[in-house]
Amino acid sequence: MTIPAAFRGRMTVPAIVAPMFLVSGPDLVSAACRAGVAASFPSLNARPLETLDAWFGQLNETLDETHAPYGVNLILHPSNTRLADDLALVVKHKVPFVITSLGNPAPVVEAVHAYGGVVFSDVIHAYHAKKAIEAGVDGIIAVGAGAGGHAGTQSPFALIREIREFWNGTLILGGAISDGASIRAAEVLGADFAYMGTRFIATQESMAQPAYKDMLTTAGPRDIVYTPAVSGTNANFLWPSLEKAGYTQESLAAGGKPANHDYGEEAKAWRDVWSAGHGVATIHDVPTVAALAARLAEEYRLACALPPSPALRA
């Protein structure tokens, strides 16, 4: 296992809270890190730019080396006109780790490595993982089928094993991971960390609307719809929220009406249409982050102690 120095000896469970659009904020991130779970948020959740500066300052004041590290997600797509300014603030505050999405991470790697930070790149295909590795990233986040948000379609089992064939660095697995047993399963498959999003939406510190959190506790995998209708790129959403926003099964089957690549307009869409992954299958409450972290750690401990199958020959 390849664990960056910034993560060693600082966590209660090998998991990272994924950055979630319009959901992750400093309260969620700080609570998770203080409970021993690394956590991150999208830079675009902090609007205007001055808010991002304040969030970084707040996290650096409340967290230290006794806590799990925090990180930020940078969208590298050309339509993100804030990227240069966001990266400048990342460097100013020396954010411990950065997650890149939708573009070449090489410039971010250079800037973050200059102050000793770590860069992870999220991918949904092994091809993209190889490109990110060539750009010098420290870790790969393999987002498999069943994850919330912009998930891939490849089984997490196949995706992580495929990437492990050519990558010996830090590897993080996402896709329907909602409990400690799943975290342990990710490790057995070859991951260094599990990547958890949906489970942390349904916590008291998340910025999600109360109705969103309640919907997660009653939804099942049957309620998850994989569609490009909201952002123009396939993502997993809760059907009840799609229906409430005016989508129909027929319109989704026809491709829906995707949003353009204006992040302001996309934010409006994601505000009303709520994302989730197949991990909703085991989400039944809305605890504090600290209580959830303690539960995950205990579930993980029990999973690590499981005896071999009795089906094995003596």
CA dist., res. 240 & res. 259, Å (int): 19
Q: DSSP 3-state assignment of 277?
A: coil
Residue 278 lies in a domain: no
The predicted model scores a pTM of 0.94
CATH assignment at residue 128: 3.20.20.70
CA dist., res. 250 & res. 183, Å (int): 37
Lowest pLDDT segment from 18-32, 86-100, 146-160, 219-233 = 219-233
Residue 307 lies in a domain: no
Question: 213, 210, 183: which is closest to 201 by C-alpha?
Answer: 213
Residue 172 lies in a domain: yes
Same domain, 150 and 196: yes
Q: Which residues have C-beta within 8 Å of that of residue 68, sequence separation ≥ 6?
A: 7, 10, 11, 12, 32, 33, 34, 35, 36, 37, 38, 39
Question: What is the structure's pLDDT at 265?
Answer: 54
- Calculate ∠ Cα 168-187-63, nearest 5°: 90
* Residue 2 reports pLDDT greater than 70: yes
Same domain, 259 and 143: no
What's the structural domain count of the chain? 2
Question: What is the structure's pLDDT at 166?
Answer: 97
Residue 268 lies in a domain: yes
What is the average pLDDT across 110-131? Answer: 97
* Residue 264 reports pLDDT greater than 60: no
What is the tens place of the pLDDT at every residue in 219-247?
A: 999 999 999 888 788 899 999 999 888 88
Domain interval for residue 232? 210-272
Question: 48, 94, 228: which is closest to 149 by C-alpha?
Answer: 228
Token code pair at residue 86: 């966001």
What is the tens place of the pLDDT at every residue in 271-298?
A: 889 999 999 999 999 999 999 999 999 9
Same domain, 230 and 198: no
**Bond before 240 cis per omega within 30 degrees:** no
Residue 310 lies in a domain: no
Same domain, 251 and 199: no
What is the average pLDDT across 13-34? Answer: 97
- The runs of H, that is alpha helices, within the chain are 26-34, 49-62, 83-93, 106-114, 126-134, 156-164, 180-189, 198-201, 210-218, 239-244, 249-253, 263-272, 289-304
Residue 173 lies in a domain: yes
**Count of beta carbons in the 10 Å neighbourhood of residue 154:** 18
Question: What is the structure's pLDDT at 254?
Answer: 73
Strand 224-227 relative to strand 235-238, pairing = antiparallel
Same domain, 112 and 219: no
Round the average pLDDT of the chain to a whole number and report it: 93
Same domain, 188 and 47: yes
Question: What is the structure's pLDDT at 232?
Answer: 80
Question: 111, 93, 39: which is closest to 289 by C-alpha?
Answer: 39
CA dist., res. 131 & res. 126, Å (int): 9
Question: What is the structure's pLDDT at 255?
Answer: 67
Same domain, 232 and 291: no
Same domain, 49 and 175: yes
Does residue 69 come out as left (phi exceeding 0), alpha (psi in the -120 to 50 range) or beta? beta
CA dist., res. 72 & res. 53, Å (int): 12
Same domain, 141 and 258: no
* Residue 260 reports pLDDT greater than 50: no
